[in-house]
Amino acid sequence: MILRGAWVTFRKELWSYCVSPISWAIAFLFYLWRGFELQELIRGYSYYRGDLDQFPTATYGQQSTAYMVLFVPALLTMRCFAEERRTGSIETLMTAPVTDAGVVFGKWCAAAAFYGLLWLPSVLVLHVLEYGPFLASDLAFGPVAAAYLGMFLLSSMLLAFGVFASSLTDNVLLSAVLAFLVSLGLLTLPQKIASQVGTLAQNYYVRELLEKLDVMRNFGEWFARGLIDTSQVMFYIGGILFFLFLTTVSLSSRRIA
Amino acid sequence: MIVVHELSKRFGATLAVDRLSFEVGRGEVVGFLGPNGAGKTTTIRVLTGFHPATSGTASVAGHDVVKASLQARQSLGYLPENVPIYPDLRVVEYLRYRAALKGVPAKERKLAVSRAMDKAGVEDVARKLVGHVSRGYRQRVGLADALVANPPILILDEPTSGLDPNQRRRIKQVVLDLAQEHTILFSSHILAEVQDVSSRIVVIHRGQLRADGPPEALVQQHTARRLVVAAAAAGATLSACVEGLAGIGEIEIDEGMGRATLKASVAAGEDPREAVGTRLLAAGVAALEVRLDLPTLEEFFYQLTEGSDRAEELALASEDHE
Protein backbone atom coordinates (compact mmCIF):
# COMPACT_ATOMS: atom_id res chain seq x y z
CA MET A 1 0.00 0.00 0.00
CA ILE A 2 3.01 2.30 0.61
CA LEU A 3 4.15 1.82 -2.98
CA ARG A 4 0.68 2.25 -4.44
CA GLY A 5 0.08 5.47 -2.48
CA ALA A 6 3.54 6.77 -3.38
CA TRP A 7 3.23 6.00 -7.09
CA VAL A 8 -0.26 7.46 -7.48
CA THR A 9 0.66 10.55 -5.45
CA PHE A 10 3.91 10.94 -7.42
CA ARG A 11 2.11 10.96 -10.77
CA LYS A 12 -0.58 13.37 -9.63
CA GLU A 13 1.89 15.76 -7.99
CA LEU A 14 4.30 15.71 -10.93
CA TRP A 15 1.41 16.58 -13.22
CA SER A 16 0.41 19.42 -10.88
CA TYR A 17 3.98 20.79 -10.99
CA CYS A 18 3.99 20.61 -14.78
CA VAL A 19 0.79 22.64 -15.13
CA SER A 20 1.40 25.05 -12.26
CA PRO A 21 2.13 28.68 -13.23
CA ILE A 22 4.57 28.91 -10.29
CA SER A 23 6.72 26.16 -11.84
CA TRP A 24 6.86 28.00 -15.14
CA ALA A 25 7.68 31.27 -13.41
CA ILE A 26 10.53 29.56 -11.54
CA ALA A 27 11.86 28.01 -14.76
CA PHE A 28 11.51 31.26 -16.71
CA LEU A 29 13.43 33.28 -14.11
CA PHE A 30 16.13 30.63 -13.81
CA TYR A 31 16.80 30.33 -17.52
CA LEU A 32 16.64 34.06 -18.15
CA TRP A 33 19.20 34.59 -15.38
CA ARG A 34 21.23 31.58 -16.47
CA GLY A 35 21.24 32.82 -20.06
CA PHE A 36 22.73 36.18 -19.11
CA GLU A 37 25.31 34.51 -16.86
CA LEU A 38 26.32 32.07 -19.59
CA GLN A 39 26.65 34.86 -22.10
CA GLU A 40 28.94 36.76 -19.73
CA LEU A 41 30.93 33.62 -19.06
CA ILE A 42 31.47 32.79 -22.73
CA ARG A 43 32.47 36.39 -23.40
CA GLY A 44 34.93 36.27 -20.51
CA TYR A 45 36.45 32.96 -21.60
CA SER A 46 36.93 34.12 -25.18
CA TYR A 47 38.38 37.46 -24.08
CA TYR A 48 40.83 36.07 -21.52
CA ARG A 49 41.32 32.78 -23.36
CA GLY A 50 40.47 30.86 -20.19
CA ASP A 51 41.02 27.15 -19.62
CA LEU A 52 37.96 25.47 -21.12
CA ASP A 53 38.35 22.51 -18.76
CA GLN A 54 37.23 24.87 -16.02
CA PHE A 55 34.28 26.14 -18.05
CA PRO A 56 31.63 23.55 -17.00
CA THR A 57 32.59 24.01 -13.35
CA ALA A 58 32.31 27.77 -13.75
CA THR A 59 28.82 27.47 -15.22
CA TYR A 60 27.28 26.17 -12.04
CA GLY A 61 29.24 28.42 -9.67
CA GLN A 62 26.79 31.24 -10.47
CA GLN A 63 24.15 33.24 -8.64
CA SER A 64 21.38 31.43 -10.48
CA THR A 65 22.60 28.20 -8.88
CA ALA A 66 22.27 29.79 -5.44
CA TYR A 67 18.72 30.81 -6.42
CA MET A 68 17.94 27.24 -7.43
CA VAL A 69 19.37 25.76 -4.21
CA LEU A 70 18.16 28.36 -1.74
CA PHE A 71 14.77 29.48 -3.00
CA VAL A 72 13.41 26.90 -5.37
CA PRO A 73 13.11 23.89 -2.98
CA ALA A 74 11.09 26.08 -0.60
CA LEU A 75 8.89 27.37 -3.43
CA LEU A 76 8.29 23.93 -4.94
CA THR A 77 7.33 22.23 -1.70
CA MET A 78 5.42 25.03 0.04
CA ARG A 79 2.07 23.77 -1.28
CA CYS A 80 2.66 20.04 -0.63
CA PHE A 81 0.61 19.73 2.56
CA ALA A 82 -0.07 23.37 3.50
CA GLU A 83 -2.35 23.78 0.48
CA GLU A 84 -4.08 20.45 1.19
CA ARG A 85 -4.69 21.61 4.75
CA ARG A 86 -5.88 25.04 3.63
CA THR A 87 -8.42 23.69 1.12
CA GLY A 88 -9.41 20.72 3.29
CA SER A 89 -8.40 18.16 0.65
CA ILE A 90 -6.10 16.66 3.30
CA GLU A 91 -9.26 15.02 4.66
CA THR A 92 -10.06 13.10 1.47
CA LEU A 93 -6.37 12.33 0.98
CA MET A 94 -5.79 10.92 4.44
CA THR A 95 -9.08 9.01 4.58
CA ALA A 96 -8.22 7.15 1.36
CA PRO A 97 -6.78 3.66 1.95
CA VAL A 98 -3.13 4.72 1.60
CA THR A 99 -0.39 5.05 4.18
CA ASP A 100 0.87 8.43 5.36
CA ALA A 101 4.43 7.35 4.47
CA GLY A 102 3.36 6.50 0.91
CA VAL A 103 1.78 9.93 0.40
CA VAL A 104 4.81 11.73 1.89
CA PHE A 105 7.28 9.74 -0.22
CA GLY A 106 5.22 10.30 -3.38
CA LYS A 107 5.07 14.05 -2.82
CA TRP A 108 8.80 14.31 -2.19
CA CYS A 109 9.65 12.13 -5.22
CA ALA A 110 7.50 14.35 -7.44
CA ALA A 111 9.19 17.51 -6.10
CA ALA A 112 12.66 15.97 -6.59
CA ALA A 113 11.79 14.72 -10.10
CA PHE A 114 10.45 18.11 -11.14
CA TYR A 115 13.50 19.80 -9.63
CA GLY A 116 15.68 17.46 -11.71
CA LEU A 117 13.65 18.39 -14.80
CA LEU A 118 14.26 22.07 -14.08
CA TRP A 119 18.03 21.47 -14.14
CA LEU A 120 18.06 19.22 -17.18
CA PRO A 121 18.11 21.93 -19.88
CA SER A 122 21.15 23.53 -18.22
CA VAL A 123 23.15 20.35 -18.96
CA LEU A 124 21.82 20.19 -22.51
CA VAL A 125 22.92 23.81 -23.01
CA LEU A 126 26.49 22.83 -22.07
CA HIS A 127 26.34 20.04 -24.62
CA VAL A 128 25.12 22.43 -27.32
CA LEU A 129 27.98 24.82 -26.46
CA GLU A 130 30.47 22.17 -27.52
CA TYR A 131 29.50 22.73 -31.14
CA GLY A 132 30.74 25.06 -33.89
CA PRO A 133 29.92 28.68 -33.49
CA PHE A 134 30.08 28.57 -29.69
CA LEU A 135 33.09 27.03 -27.92
CA ALA A 136 33.89 24.37 -30.56
CA SER A 137 35.62 22.23 -27.97
CA ASP A 138 34.95 19.09 -25.92
CA LEU A 139 34.01 19.97 -22.36
CA ALA A 140 34.87 17.81 -19.35
CA PHE A 141 31.53 16.40 -18.25
CA GLY A 142 32.90 14.22 -15.42
CA PRO A 143 33.19 17.03 -12.87
CA VAL A 144 29.86 18.37 -14.07
CA ALA A 145 28.16 15.06 -13.35
CA ALA A 146 29.63 14.94 -9.82
CA ALA A 147 28.71 18.58 -9.17
CA TYR A 148 25.17 18.06 -10.42
CA LEU A 149 24.83 14.94 -8.27
CA GLY A 150 26.00 16.91 -5.22
CA MET A 151 23.64 19.75 -5.96
CA PHE A 152 20.78 17.39 -6.57
CA LEU A 153 21.39 15.53 -3.29
CA LEU A 154 21.67 18.75 -1.30
CA SER A 155 18.56 20.18 -2.93
CA SER A 156 16.66 16.92 -2.42
CA MET A 157 17.41 17.17 1.29
CA LEU A 158 16.15 20.76 1.27
CA LEU A 159 13.07 19.58 -0.64
CA ALA A 160 12.50 16.96 2.07
CA PHE A 161 12.71 19.70 4.68
CA GLY A 162 10.32 21.80 2.58
CA VAL A 163 7.81 18.94 2.55
CA PHE A 164 8.17 18.71 6.34
CA ALA A 165 7.71 22.49 6.79
CA SER A 166 4.61 22.28 4.62
CA SER A 167 3.12 19.61 6.88
CA LEU A 168 3.39 21.90 9.91
CA THR A 169 1.08 24.68 8.76
CA ASP A 170 -1.86 25.53 6.53
CA ASN A 171 -0.18 28.78 5.53
CA VAL A 172 1.67 28.31 2.23
CA LEU A 173 3.77 31.46 2.67
CA LEU A 174 4.80 30.51 6.18
CA SER A 175 5.85 27.08 4.94
CA ALA A 176 8.01 28.66 2.20
CA VAL A 177 9.62 31.15 4.61
CA LEU A 178 10.40 28.40 7.13
CA ALA A 179 11.94 26.17 4.45
CA PHE A 180 13.96 29.07 3.06
CA LEU A 181 15.30 30.08 6.49
CA VAL A 182 16.38 26.53 7.28
CA SER A 183 18.05 26.21 3.85
CA LEU A 184 19.88 29.49 4.46
CA GLY A 185 20.85 28.37 7.95
CA LEU A 186 22.19 25.05 6.73
CA LEU A 187 24.29 26.69 4.04
CA THR A 188 25.74 29.49 6.15
CA LEU A 189 25.55 28.68 9.85
CA PRO A 190 28.05 25.79 10.25
CA GLN A 191 30.93 28.03 9.10
CA LYS A 192 29.79 30.85 11.35
CA ILE A 193 29.39 28.53 14.33
CA ALA A 194 32.82 26.97 13.72
CA SER A 195 34.41 30.41 13.83
CA GLN A 196 32.54 31.39 17.00
CA VAL A 197 32.95 28.38 19.29
CA GLY A 198 36.68 29.01 19.88
CA THR A 199 38.56 26.18 21.52
CA LEU A 200 35.47 23.99 21.49
CA ALA A 201 36.03 23.65 17.74
CA GLN A 202 39.21 21.71 18.56
CA ASN A 203 37.13 18.96 20.17
CA TYR A 204 37.10 15.96 17.82
CA TYR A 205 33.35 15.37 17.90
CA VAL A 206 32.43 19.04 17.58
CA ARG A 207 34.85 19.43 14.70
CA GLU A 208 33.56 16.33 12.93
CA LEU A 209 29.94 17.40 13.40
CA LEU A 210 30.54 20.92 12.11
CA GLU A 211 32.53 19.58 9.17
CA LYS A 212 29.81 17.15 8.24
CA LEU A 213 27.17 19.87 8.48
CA ASP A 214 29.21 22.37 6.50
CA VAL A 215 27.63 21.48 3.19
CA MET A 216 29.14 24.43 1.32
CA ARG A 217 32.68 23.47 2.22
CA ASN A 218 32.09 19.81 1.55
CA PHE A 219 30.57 20.67 -1.75
CA GLY A 220 33.59 22.75 -2.73
CA GLU A 221 36.06 20.10 -1.58
CA TRP A 222 34.36 17.11 -3.12
CA PHE A 223 31.53 17.38 -5.60
CA ALA A 224 32.74 20.62 -7.25
CA ARG A 225 36.07 18.94 -7.95
CA GLY A 226 34.39 15.98 -9.55
CA LEU A 227 34.83 13.72 -6.52
CA ILE A 228 32.03 11.65 -5.05
CA ASP A 229 32.43 10.82 -1.38
CA THR A 230 30.08 8.06 -0.26
CA SER A 231 29.93 9.44 3.30
CA GLN A 232 28.66 12.74 1.85
CA VAL A 233 26.13 10.87 -0.24
CA MET A 234 24.98 8.96 2.83
CA PHE A 235 24.75 12.22 4.79
CA TYR A 236 22.29 13.64 2.26
CA ILE A 237 20.31 10.42 1.91
CA GLY A 238 20.15 10.20 5.71
CA GLY A 239 18.96 13.83 5.85
CA ILE A 240 16.27 13.13 3.24
CA LEU A 241 14.99 10.06 5.11
CA PHE A 242 15.07 11.94 8.42
CA PHE A 243 12.93 14.82 7.17
CA LEU A 244 10.53 12.48 5.37
CA PHE A 245 10.19 10.51 8.59
CA LEU A 246 9.46 13.72 10.50
CA THR A 247 6.80 14.63 7.91
CA THR A 248 5.15 11.23 8.34
CA VAL A 249 5.19 11.67 12.12
CA SER A 250 3.75 15.17 11.72
CA LEU A 251 0.85 13.80 9.63
CA SER A 252 0.32 10.73 11.80
CA SER A 253 0.25 12.80 14.99
CA ARG A 254 -3.30 13.71 13.97
CA ARG A 255 -4.22 10.05 14.42
CA ILE A 256 -2.59 9.68 17.83
CA ALA A 257 -5.05 10.15 20.67
CA MET B 1 -21.38 -2.87 9.27
CA ILE B 2 -20.64 0.17 11.46
CA VAL B 3 -20.30 -0.31 15.20
CA VAL B 4 -19.60 2.62 17.52
CA HIS B 5 -19.10 1.71 21.16
CA GLU B 6 -18.74 4.19 24.04
CA LEU B 7 -16.91 6.57 21.72
CA SER B 8 -15.60 9.82 23.16
CA LYS B 9 -13.57 12.52 21.50
CA ARG B 10 -12.11 15.46 23.35
CA PHE B 11 -10.48 18.56 21.81
CA GLY B 12 -8.67 20.21 24.71
CA ALA B 13 -11.33 21.19 27.21
CA THR B 14 -14.21 20.52 24.81
CA LEU B 15 -15.87 17.13 24.83
CA ALA B 16 -17.15 16.87 21.26
CA VAL B 17 -18.43 13.29 21.48
CA ASP B 18 -19.47 11.79 24.79
CA ARG B 19 -19.69 7.98 25.19
CA LEU B 20 -21.63 7.57 21.97
CA SER B 21 -22.80 4.09 20.95
CA PHE B 22 -24.82 3.02 17.91
CA GLU B 23 -24.77 0.47 15.13
CA VAL B 24 -25.61 0.46 11.45
CA GLY B 25 -26.57 -2.92 10.00
CA ARG B 26 -25.94 -4.24 6.50
CA GLY B 27 -28.15 -2.56 3.88
CA GLU B 28 -29.51 0.05 6.27
CA VAL B 29 -29.75 3.75 5.46
CA VAL B 30 -29.31 5.56 8.74
CA GLY B 31 -29.82 9.28 9.14
CA PHE B 32 -27.31 10.78 11.55
CA LEU B 33 -29.12 13.77 12.95
CA GLY B 34 -28.16 16.59 15.22
CA PRO B 35 -27.98 20.38 15.30
CA ASN B 36 -24.84 22.15 14.14
CA GLY B 37 -22.00 21.44 16.55
CA ALA B 38 -23.65 18.29 17.94
CA GLY B 39 -20.60 16.13 17.16
CA LYS B 40 -21.73 14.52 13.89
CA THR B 41 -18.69 15.47 11.83
CA THR B 42 -16.32 14.55 14.65
CA THR B 43 -17.91 11.09 14.95
CA ILE B 44 -17.68 10.65 11.18
CA ARG B 45 -14.04 11.74 11.18
CA VAL B 46 -13.27 9.09 13.79
CA LEU B 47 -15.05 6.48 11.65
CA THR B 48 -13.06 7.48 8.57
CA GLY B 49 -9.75 7.35 10.44
CA PHE B 50 -9.09 11.08 10.12
CA HIS B 51 -9.21 11.69 13.88
CA PRO B 52 -8.40 9.27 16.67
CA ALA B 53 -10.96 8.63 19.40
CA THR B 54 -10.06 9.75 22.91
CA SER B 55 -11.73 6.60 24.28
CA GLY B 56 -14.09 3.89 23.09
CA THR B 57 -13.96 1.92 19.88
CA ALA B 58 -15.39 2.06 16.40
CA SER B 59 -15.31 -0.46 13.59
CA VAL B 60 -16.26 -0.39 9.95
CA ALA B 61 -17.07 -3.66 8.12
CA GLY B 62 -15.55 -5.53 11.07
CA HIS B 63 -12.25 -3.60 10.96
CA ASP B 64 -11.26 -1.47 13.92
CA VAL B 65 -10.77 2.09 12.65
CA VAL B 66 -7.50 2.45 14.58
CA LYS B 67 -5.95 -1.03 14.60
CA ALA B 68 -6.94 -1.91 11.02
CA SER B 69 -7.34 1.61 9.69
CA LEU B 70 -6.37 0.82 6.08
CA GLN B 71 -8.84 -2.09 5.78
CA ALA B 72 -11.56 0.03 7.40
CA ARG B 73 -10.86 2.88 4.98
CA GLN B 74 -10.84 0.42 2.07
CA SER B 75 -14.41 -0.59 2.99
CA LEU B 76 -15.92 2.86 2.97
CA GLY B 77 -16.60 5.72 0.63
CA TYR B 78 -16.61 9.11 2.33
CA LEU B 79 -18.15 12.38 1.24
CA PRO B 80 -16.94 15.18 3.54
CA GLU B 81 -19.17 18.16 4.30
CA ASN B 82 -17.13 20.59 2.21
CA VAL B 83 -15.93 18.71 -0.83
CA PRO B 84 -12.33 19.79 -1.19
CA ILE B 85 -11.10 20.50 -4.68
CA TYR B 86 -7.97 20.13 -6.74
CA PRO B 87 -8.73 23.01 -9.11
CA ASP B 88 -6.07 22.02 -11.66
CA LEU B 89 -7.61 18.61 -12.46
CA ARG B 90 -10.58 17.84 -14.71
CA VAL B 91 -13.45 15.95 -13.09
CA VAL B 92 -12.62 12.72 -14.92
CA GLU B 93 -8.90 13.08 -14.11
CA TYR B 94 -9.69 13.71 -10.47
CA LEU B 95 -11.87 10.59 -10.31
CA ARG B 96 -9.20 8.49 -12.09
CA TYR B 97 -6.64 9.72 -9.57
CA ARG B 98 -8.96 8.88 -6.67
CA ALA B 99 -9.71 5.45 -8.14
CA ALA B 100 -5.98 4.73 -8.41
CA LEU B 101 -5.43 5.96 -4.86
CA LYS B 102 -8.17 3.62 -3.64
CA GLY B 103 -6.56 0.66 -5.36
CA VAL B 104 -8.95 0.15 -8.28
CA PRO B 105 -6.87 -1.93 -10.76
CA ALA B 106 -5.71 0.01 -13.84
CA LYS B 107 -7.72 -2.20 -16.21
CA GLU B 108 -10.98 -1.57 -14.35
CA ARG B 109 -10.38 2.10 -13.61
CA LYS B 110 -12.02 3.54 -16.71
CA LEU B 111 -15.16 1.51 -16.15
CA ALA B 112 -15.22 2.27 -12.41
CA VAL B 113 -14.93 6.01 -13.07
CA SER B 114 -17.65 6.04 -15.73
CA ARG B 115 -19.95 3.96 -13.48
CA ALA B 116 -19.40 6.36 -10.54
CA MET B 117 -19.97 9.39 -12.78
CA ASP B 118 -23.16 7.82 -14.06
CA LYS B 119 -24.47 7.07 -10.55
CA ALA B 120 -23.65 10.56 -9.27
CA GLY B 121 -24.85 12.25 -12.48
CA VAL B 122 -21.69 14.17 -13.35
CA GLU B 123 -20.98 12.94 -16.91
CA ASP B 124 -21.88 16.31 -18.40
CA VAL B 125 -19.09 18.04 -16.46
CA ALA B 126 -16.53 15.24 -16.90
CA ARG B 127 -14.14 17.38 -18.95
CA LYS B 128 -14.50 20.51 -16.81
CA LEU B 129 -11.86 21.56 -14.31
CA VAL B 130 -12.97 20.63 -10.79
CA GLY B 131 -12.41 24.25 -9.74
CA HIS B 132 -14.88 25.48 -12.37
CA VAL B 133 -17.98 23.37 -11.58
CA SER B 134 -20.88 24.68 -9.49
CA ARG B 135 -21.29 23.79 -5.83
CA GLY B 136 -24.03 21.28 -6.59
CA TYR B 137 -21.87 19.50 -9.13
CA ARG B 138 -18.89 19.63 -6.81
CA GLN B 139 -20.95 17.84 -4.20
CA ARG B 140 -21.85 15.20 -6.77
CA VAL B 141 -18.21 14.90 -7.86
CA GLY B 142 -17.48 14.21 -4.19
CA LEU B 143 -20.20 11.58 -4.23
CA ALA B 144 -18.72 10.00 -7.37
CA ASP B 145 -15.38 9.94 -5.55
CA ALA B 146 -16.99 8.13 -2.60
CA LEU B 147 -18.48 5.59 -5.04
CA VAL B 148 -15.57 5.06 -7.39
CA ALA B 149 -14.10 2.02 -5.62
CA ASN B 150 -17.61 0.61 -5.11
CA PRO B 151 -17.27 0.32 -1.31
CA PRO B 152 -19.97 -1.52 0.66
CA ILE B 153 -20.38 1.40 3.09
CA LEU B 154 -20.97 5.06 2.32
CA ILE B 155 -20.56 7.81 4.88
CA LEU B 156 -22.03 11.09 3.68
CA ASP B 157 -21.49 14.15 5.86
CA GLU B 158 -24.15 16.80 5.20
CA PRO B 159 -24.28 15.96 1.48
CA THR B 160 -26.88 18.64 0.77
CA SER B 161 -25.50 21.52 2.81
CA GLY B 162 -25.37 24.79 0.89
CA LEU B 163 -27.32 23.45 -2.09
CA ASP B 164 -30.44 24.94 -3.64
CA PRO B 165 -33.74 22.98 -3.40
CA ASN B 166 -33.35 21.41 -6.87
CA GLN B 167 -29.80 20.29 -6.17
CA ARG B 168 -30.89 18.92 -2.79
CA ARG B 169 -33.62 16.93 -4.48
CA ARG B 170 -31.16 15.45 -6.97
CA ILE B 171 -28.71 14.44 -4.25
CA LYS B 172 -31.57 12.89 -2.27
CA GLN B 173 -32.63 10.87 -5.31
CA VAL B 174 -29.05 9.70 -5.84
CA VAL B 175 -28.86 8.56 -2.21
CA LEU B 176 -32.17 6.71 -2.56
CA ASP B 177 -30.82 4.92 -5.65
CA LEU B 178 -27.60 4.05 -3.85
CA ALA B 179 -29.53 2.59 -0.93
CA GLN B 180 -30.27 -0.48 -3.05
CA GLU B 181 -26.62 -1.58 -2.99
CA HIS B 182 -24.89 0.18 -0.12
CA THR B 183 -25.05 0.62 3.63
CA ILE B 184 -25.31 4.37 4.17
CA LEU B 185 -24.72 6.66 7.14
CA PHE B 186 -26.15 10.01 6.12
CA SER B 187 -25.58 12.99 8.37
CA SER B 188 -27.76 16.05 8.20
CA HIS B 189 -29.44 18.73 10.25
CA ILE B 190 -32.29 19.00 7.74
CA LEU B 191 -35.04 16.75 9.04
CA ALA B 192 -37.16 16.38 5.92
CA GLU B 193 -34.25 14.89 4.00
CA VAL B 194 -33.44 12.39 6.68
CA GLN B 195 -37.08 11.41 6.98
CA ASP B 196 -37.36 10.83 3.23
CA VAL B 197 -34.16 8.88 2.85
CA SER B 198 -33.52 6.96 6.06
CA SER B 199 -35.07 3.82 7.46
CA ARG B 200 -33.67 4.68 10.87
CA ILE B 201 -32.36 7.80 12.57
CA VAL B 202 -29.72 8.34 15.22
CA VAL B 203 -30.03 11.69 16.97
CA ILE B 204 -27.11 13.18 18.84
CA HIS B 205 -26.89 16.39 20.76
CA ARG B 206 -23.87 17.79 22.55
CA GLY B 207 -22.01 14.63 21.61
CA GLN B 208 -24.49 12.34 23.34
CA LEU B 209 -26.98 9.88 21.88
CA ARG B 210 -30.51 11.22 22.29
CA ALA B 211 -32.56 8.79 20.20
CA ASP B 212 -32.12 5.78 17.91
CA GLY B 213 -34.88 4.11 15.87
CA PRO B 214 -37.25 4.42 12.88
CA PRO B 215 -38.39 8.06 12.52
CA GLU B 216 -42.15 7.42 12.91
CA ALA B 217 -41.74 5.24 16.00
CA LEU B 218 -39.40 7.74 17.63
CA VAL B 219 -41.77 10.61 17.02
CA GLN B 220 -44.69 8.71 18.49
CA GLN B 221 -42.78 7.40 21.49
CA HIS B 222 -40.96 10.55 22.49
CA THR B 223 -43.11 13.46 21.46
CA ALA B 224 -46.30 14.77 23.07
CA ARG B 225 -49.24 15.13 20.66
CA ARG B 226 -51.75 17.96 20.61
CA LEU B 227 -55.51 17.65 21.09
CA VAL B 228 -57.59 20.35 19.39
CA VAL B 229 -61.26 20.80 20.34
CA ALA B 230 -63.40 23.55 18.83
CA ALA B 231 -67.03 24.10 19.86
CA ALA B 232 -69.74 26.75 20.05
CA ALA B 233 -69.46 26.97 23.82
CA ALA B 234 -67.68 28.83 26.60
CA GLY B 235 -64.00 28.07 27.16
CA ALA B 236 -64.65 26.97 30.74
CA THR B 237 -67.17 24.34 29.53
CA LEU B 238 -64.68 22.94 27.03
CA SER B 239 -61.97 22.94 29.64
CA ALA B 240 -64.22 20.99 32.04
CA CYS B 241 -64.85 18.35 29.35
CA VAL B 242 -61.13 17.76 28.79
CA GLU B 243 -59.60 18.21 32.25
CA GLY B 244 -58.81 15.09 34.17
CA LEU B 245 -58.66 12.77 31.15
CA ALA B 246 -55.75 10.36 30.97
CA GLY B 247 -52.61 11.84 29.36
CA ILE B 248 -53.90 15.43 29.19
CA GLY B 249 -51.27 18.02 30.04
CA GLU B 250 -51.20 21.77 29.68
CA ILE B 251 -54.42 23.34 28.34
CA GLU B 252 -54.77 26.55 26.32
CA ILE B 253 -58.11 28.21 25.54
CA ASP B 254 -58.78 30.64 22.74
CA GLU B 255 -62.24 32.31 22.90
CA GLY B 256 -64.13 34.69 20.59
CA MET B 257 -67.10 35.11 18.21
CA GLY B 258 -69.26 32.78 20.32
CA ARG B 259 -66.93 29.82 20.04
CA ALA B 260 -63.88 28.48 21.83
CA THR B 261 -60.89 26.47 20.73
CA LEU B 262 -59.04 24.31 23.24
CA LYS B 263 -55.53 23.02 22.68
CA ALA B 264 -54.02 20.51 25.06
CA SER B 265 -50.85 18.46 25.03
CA VAL B 266 -51.41 14.70 25.14
CA ALA B 267 -48.87 12.22 26.46
CA ALA B 268 -47.30 9.78 23.96
CA GLY B 269 -49.47 6.68 23.43
CA GLU B 270 -52.72 8.28 24.66
CA ASP B 271 -55.75 9.08 22.45
CA PRO B 272 -58.47 10.96 24.41
CA ARG B 273 -60.71 11.83 21.40
CA GLU B 274 -63.43 9.29 22.19
CA ALA B 275 -63.63 10.30 25.84
CA VAL B 276 -63.75 13.98 24.91
CA GLY B 277 -66.58 13.30 22.42
CA THR B 278 -68.59 11.46 25.08
CA ARG B 279 -68.12 14.30 27.60
CA LEU B 280 -69.07 16.95 25.04
CA LEU B 281 -72.27 15.02 24.23
CA ALA B 282 -73.08 14.64 27.90
CA ALA B 283 -72.58 18.38 28.40
CA GLY B 284 -74.77 19.13 25.39
CA VAL B 285 -72.02 20.98 23.58
CA ALA B 286 -72.12 21.02 19.76
CA ALA B 287 -68.58 20.15 18.76
CA LEU B 288 -67.17 21.73 15.61
CA GLU B 289 -63.96 19.74 15.65
CA VAL B 290 -62.14 17.16 17.77
CA ARG B 291 -58.75 16.17 16.38
CA LEU B 292 -55.41 14.84 17.53
CA ASP B 293 -52.45 16.48 15.79
CA LEU B 294 -49.60 14.08 15.30
CA PRO B 295 -46.23 15.63 16.04
CA THR B 296 -43.77 16.17 13.22
CA LEU B 297 -40.17 15.05 13.20
CA GLU B 298 -39.32 18.70 13.53
CA GLU B 299 -41.14 18.96 16.87
CA PHE B 300 -39.49 15.75 17.99
CA PHE B 301 -36.11 17.14 17.05
CA TYR B 302 -36.85 20.44 18.78
CA GLN B 303 -37.81 18.65 21.98
CA LEU B 304 -34.66 16.56 21.93
CA THR B 305 -32.29 19.39 21.15
CA GLU B 306 -33.32 23.04 21.29
CA GLY B 307 -36.20 22.32 23.64
CA SER B 308 -33.94 20.73 26.21
CA ASP B 309 -31.45 23.57 25.82
CA ARG B 310 -34.20 26.09 26.38
CA ALA B 311 -35.35 24.29 29.51
CA GLU B 312 -31.77 24.21 30.80
CA GLU B 313 -31.29 27.88 29.97
CA LEU B 314 -34.49 28.81 31.79
CA ALA B 315 -33.45 26.76 34.82
CA LEU B 316 -30.03 28.42 34.86
CA ALA B 317 -31.61 31.87 34.44
CA SER B 318 -33.98 31.29 37.36
CA GLU B 319 -31.05 30.06 39.51
CA ASP B 320 -29.14 33.21 38.64
CA HIS B 321 -32.17 35.30 39.44
CA GLU B 322 -32.54 33.70 42.83
Whole-number CA gyration radius for chain B: 25
Selecting from B50, B52, B53 the residue whose C-beta is nearest the C-beta of A95 gives B50
Contact B84 A256 (CB under 8 A): no
pLDDT above 70 for A77: yes
For testing contact with chain B, the best of A91, A94, A170 (most B CBs within 10 A): A91
Highest mean pLDDT pick, A41-50, A144-153, A173-182: A173-182
Selecting from A16, A91, A98 the residue whose C-beta is nearest the C-beta of B88 gives A16
Higher local confidence (pLDDT), A112 or B308 = A112
Residues of B in contact with A85 (CB under 8 A): none
Distance between B29 CA and the closest CA of chain A, angstroms: 21
Selecting from A9, A12, A94 the residue whose C-beta is nearest the C-beta of B50 gives A94
Nearest in space to A80 (alpha carbons), one of A184, A172, A180: A172
pLDDT above 90 for A189: no
Output the pLDDT for position A257: 42
> How many whole angstroms separate alpha carbon A206 and alpha carbon A204?
6
Pairing of strands B2-11, B14-24: antiparallel
Contact A91 B80 (CB under 8 A): yes
Model confidence at A103, in pLDDT bands (50, 70, 90)?
Answer: very high
Contact A95 B48 (CB under 8 A): yes
Contact A87 B84 (CB under 8 A): yes
Selecting from A11, A91, A98 the residue whose C-beta is nearest the C-beta of B84 gives A91
Distance between B261 CA and the closest CA of chain A, angstroms: 55
Output the pLDDT for position B309: 55
> How many whole angstroms separate alpha carbon B153 and alpha carbon B44?
13
A189 burial type by CB count under 10 A (0-12 exposed, 13-18 middle, 19+ buried): middle
> How many whole angstroms separate alpha carbon A14 and alpha carbon A94?
19
Residue B45 φ/ψ, nearest 5 degrees: -65, -30
Contact A5 B53 (CB under 8 A): no
Output the pLDDT for position B322: 43
> How many whole angstroms separate alpha carbon B28 and alpha carbon A210?
64
Q: Beta-carbon neighbour count of residue A256 at 10 Å?
A: 8
Q: What is the mean pLDDT of chain B?
A: 85
Strand partners of residue B3: B23, B59
Output the pLDDT for position B321: 46
- Comparing alpha-carbon positions, the chain B residue that sits nearest to A256 is B52
Residues of A in contact with B53 (CB under 8 A): 257
For testing contact with chain A, the best of B47, B75, B101 (most A CBs within 10 A): B101
Give percent above pLDDT 90 in chain A.
40
Nearest in space to B185 (alpha carbons), one of B48, B17, B36: B48
Highest mean pLDDT pick, A214-223, B14-23, B80-89: B14-23
> pLDDT tens digits for B161-208?
777 888 788 888 888 888 888 999 989 877 777 777 888 989 898 889
Cβ contacts from A onto B, under 8 A: 76
pLDDT above 60 for B143: yes
> pLDDT tens digits for B198-235?
889 898 988 899 888 888 777 777 667 788 999 888 88
> How many whole angstroms separate alpha carbon A68 and alpha carbon B84?
32
Residues of A in contact with B66 (CB under 8 A): 255
A92 touches chain B (CB under 8 A): yes
- Comparing alpha-carbon positions, the chain A residue that sits nearest to B10 is A257
Highest mean pLDDT pick, A34-43, A70-79, A200-209: A70-79
> pLDDT tens digits for A227-243?
888 888 898 999 999 99
> pLDDT tens digits for B285-316?
888 899 888 777 777 777 777 655 554 554 54
A22 touches chain B (CB under 8 A): no
